Chains A and B, each alone.
Chain A
Amino acid sequence: MTSAFAGSALLGQRAIERSRRNPASVLGAVVFPLLFFALFNVVLRRVMDAQGFDYVQLLPPTIVVQAMLFAGMSSAYYVADDRLSGITERFASLPIGRAAPAIGRALGDLARAAVSLVVVIGVGVAAGMRFDAGLVWIPLFVLVALLFSLAVALGMGLLGLSASSPEAAVSLATIPYLPLLMLSSGFAPIENFPDWLEPIVRNQPVTVTIDALRALAGDGDISSTVPVALAWTVGLAVLFAAVGVRVIGGRR
């Protein structure tokens, strides 16, 4: 048991170290979210404010979710890389517990997401976003964001388990990303969407998570949004983890 715990911690450390030394991960976790925040804020703020959609307050939760998606997407790359380099097999021969590589991977993914989250919130607040619902909700804000990222990382890890190369895993990972993020309440009021699309946009997991984060920052009703977001993210995380266990188990 001790060795399983130590093994997970050590592999978590390894995952963090790899992200830290990979310029693509640093760009994805820190630079790109800030770039998108700056660009959307400059380009669309006047247009959206004219429509009564307060961009400085409503955009940061969107960028948080985008950053959590980016952070999770890197997981596809690392899982594929570990599998194809043979180190996954090597780990299986060590007395570290069967779950240690997966737990280590998840710890690394969460650490990357946490760094990204701190940077985006910091810049959002500097730009004028406020936690109007009260500072007590910030821990829950962080929890919802990180759980979402964990669910994404688990889902993306599945792509890494089946892709032919780390690069192919990354290309696959970007396919669901764009429609999920764009067709959400994130960048424009939900009423803007064509009527037939609106129910899908309103209920998909990215919108649900953004709405919960906005409510925790003071725009919206916490009790009707946060439980839905938690149900989605925990449900997806459990589903992806279960599929992952089956896939890995089937290979042994």
Chain B
Amino acid sequence: MTTYLLFFGRATRRFVRSAETMISTVAFPVLLLLTMLAVFSSSVEAFEGGDYAQRLVPALVVSGIMFGSTGTAVGLFVDLESGFMQRIRSLPVPASAPLVGTVAAEVVRATAAVVVLVAIGSLAGFRFEDPIGVIGFFLVAALCAVSVTWIGLSLATRAATQETLSPPLGALFLVLLFFSEGLVPLDAYPGWAQPIVENNPATAYVTSLDALARGDALAGPLTRAVAWSIGLVAVFGTLAVRRLRPEEVRRTESAPEPVPVAEAA
């Protein structure tokens, strides 16, 4: 247990001390919220009525979690490249401890993003119909963070270079978010896209957060969010942890690096 806490502490300090991560966690979602409101609120409010901030805040919470986890995935990749993970493997530490500690730290980051977005969103018209929803809002954000982060971590254990890690991950999250009911209502999507939008993990988290803020029926979206979380952790968690077993780490790290001919010349 102490080992898990240690890795949690390391991961937390790592992003608190990285200016870049703090910008992407706190400043970027706010910038995005303000620009999206300025650009799209008239159009979307004309289309569906109601304050656009109400729709946008849950989407940006999920967006902040997803894009923040890209940085965490890069951090794991750096740990693998630098030999840090190999060093950890020589210690009596469970194979899952570094990753579980990292994922737990994502909850801290998600919570910070929620606080900032809700605070700024409130100025633009975002409201909790029922104050008790606030607690659920934080819990669903935490659930989203602990589930989604595994996608990036499992890719990080398999990526050959940083360039083949962050852009594909970013593209995946972009597609999930755009097809998530987070930016426009479901009936704004063309017919062929609607089933995709309805069965998308980002939609499950966004609609759960949305229901908590508006005080709408929660059972349906929350069931889907929990189901997605179980699925994501089961699949990507297993893939990531399995890859970090001692024999696997040795194989990925000690293979001699081929010298690229063009750069050597």
The answer to whether A27 touches B178, judged by C-beta atoms less than 8 angstroms apart, is no
- For window 21-46 of A, CB contacts with B under 8 Å fall at 21-24, 27-28, 31-32, 35, 39-40, 42-46
The answer to whether B190 touches A188, judged by C-beta atoms less than 8 angstroms apart, is no
Which of A47, A53, A183 has most chain B Cβ within 10 Å? Answer: A47
**A31 vs B172: C-alpha distance when bound (angstroms):** 12
The answer to whether B40 touches A187, judged by C-beta atoms less than 8 angstroms apart, is yes
A34 to chain B, nearest CB (A): 11
Neighbour of A48 across the interface among B20, B41, B43, B178, CB < 8 A: B43
Q: Mark B17-45, 1 if CB is under 8 A from A, else 0.
A: 00010000000000110011011111110
Query: Which residues from chain B contact A23 at a C-beta distance below 8 Å?
Result: 163-164, 167
Q: Mark A148-191, 1 if CB is under 8 A from B, else 0.
A: 00000000000000000000000100000011001100011101
B218 at the interface (CB under 8 A from A): no
The answer to whether B175 touches A35, judged by C-beta atoms less than 8 angstroms apart, is yes
A223 at the interface (CB under 8 A from B): no
- For window 188-224 of A, CB contacts with B under 8 Å fall at 188-189, 191-194, 197
Neighbour of A46 across the interface among B32, B40, B188, CB < 8 A: B188
The answer to whether A193 touches B188, judged by C-beta atoms less than 8 angstroms apart, is no
B174 at the interface (CB under 8 A from A): yes
A74 to chain B, nearest CB (A): 12
A2 at the interface (CB under 8 A from B): no
Knowing A192-B42, A192-B43, say if A179 contacts B175 (CB, 8 Å).
Answer: no
Query: Which residues from chain B contact A178 at a C-beta distance below 8 Å?
Result: 31-32, 35
A174, closest chain B residue (CB): B28
Query: Which residues from chain A contact B175 at a C-beta distance below 8 Å?
Result: 35, 39
The answer to whether B174 touches A39, judged by C-beta atoms less than 8 angstroms apart, is yes
The answer to whether B43 touches A51, judged by C-beta atoms less than 8 angstroms apart, is yes
The answer to whether B174 touches A192, judged by C-beta atoms less than 8 angstroms apart, is no
B259 at the interface (CB under 8 A from A): no
The answer to whether B31 touches A43, judged by C-beta atoms less than 8 angstroms apart, is no
Query: Which residues from chain B contact A187 at a C-beta distance below 8 Å?
Result: 39-40
The answer to whether A44 touches B20, judged by C-beta atoms less than 8 angstroms apart, is no
**A39 vs B41: C-alpha distance when bound (angstroms):** 18
The answer to whether A192 touches B39, judged by C-beta atoms less than 8 angstroms apart, is yes
The answer to whether B20 touches A171, judged by C-beta atoms less than 8 angstroms apart, is yes
The answer to whether B38 touches A193, judged by C-beta atoms less than 8 angstroms apart, is yes
Neighbour of A35 across the interface among B42, B47, B174, B193, CB < 8 A: B174
Neighbour of B190 across the interface among A22, A31, A46, A51, CB < 8 A: A46
The answer to whether A43 touches B178, judged by C-beta atoms less than 8 angstroms apart, is yes
The answer to whether B40 touches A24, judged by C-beta atoms less than 8 angstroms apart, is no
A126 at the interface (CB under 8 A from B): no
The answer to whether A44 touches B184, judged by C-beta atoms less than 8 angstroms apart, is yes
Which of A22, A35, A42 has most chain B Cβ within 10 Å? Answer: A42
Query: Which residues from chain B contact A192 at a C-beta distance below 8 Å?
Result: 38-43
Which of B44, B46, B187 has most chain A Cβ within 10 Å? Answer: B44
Query: Which residues from chain A contact B47 at a C-beta distance below 8 Å?
Result: 46-47, 50-51
Query: Which residues from chain B contact A53 at a C-beta distance below 8 Å?
Result: 43
The answer to whether A47 touches B43, judged by C-beta atoms less than 8 angstroms apart, is yes
The answer to whether A27 touches B167, judged by C-beta atoms less than 8 angstroms apart, is yes
Query: Which residues from chain B contact A51 at a C-beta distance below 8 Å?
Result: 42-43, 46-47
The answer to whether B178 touches A22, judged by C-beta atoms less than 8 angstroms apart, is no
Query: Which residues from chain A contact B36 at a C-beta distance below 8 Å?
Result: 182
Neighbour of A182 across the interface among B39, B46, B164, B174, CB < 8 A: B39
**A39 vs B20: C-alpha distance when bound (angstroms):** 27
B57 at the interface (CB under 8 A from A): no
Knowing A42-B193, A47-B184, A179-B35, say if A31 contacts B42 (CB, 8 Å).
Answer: no
B183 at the interface (CB under 8 A from A): yes
**A106 vs B216: C-alpha distance when bound (angstroms):** 55
Can you name 18 A-B pairs with beta carbons within 8 Å?
A: A17-B262, A42-B193, A43-B179, A43-B189, A44-B43, A44-B184, A46-B47, A47-B47, A47-B184, A48-B43, A51-B42, A51-B46, A171-B20, A178-B32, A182-B35, A188-B39, A188-B43, A192-B38
- Can you name 16 extra interface pairs (CB under 8 A) apart from A42-B190, A192-B39, A197-B38? A32-B171, A35-B175, A40-B178, A42-B189, A43-B183, A43-B184, A44-B183, A46-B47, A46-B184, A47-B47, A53-B43, A182-B38, A183-B39, A188-B39, A188-B43, A191-B42
Q: Please give the residue numbers on chain B whose beta carbons come within 8 Å of chain A beta carbons, in ascending order.
A: 20, 31-32, 35-36, 38-44, 46-47, 163-164, 167-168, 171, 174-175, 178-179, 183-184, 187-190, 193, 262
Q: Sorted from nearest, which 4 A-B pairs have the closest CB atoms? A: A192-B42, A39-B178, A182-B35, A24-B163
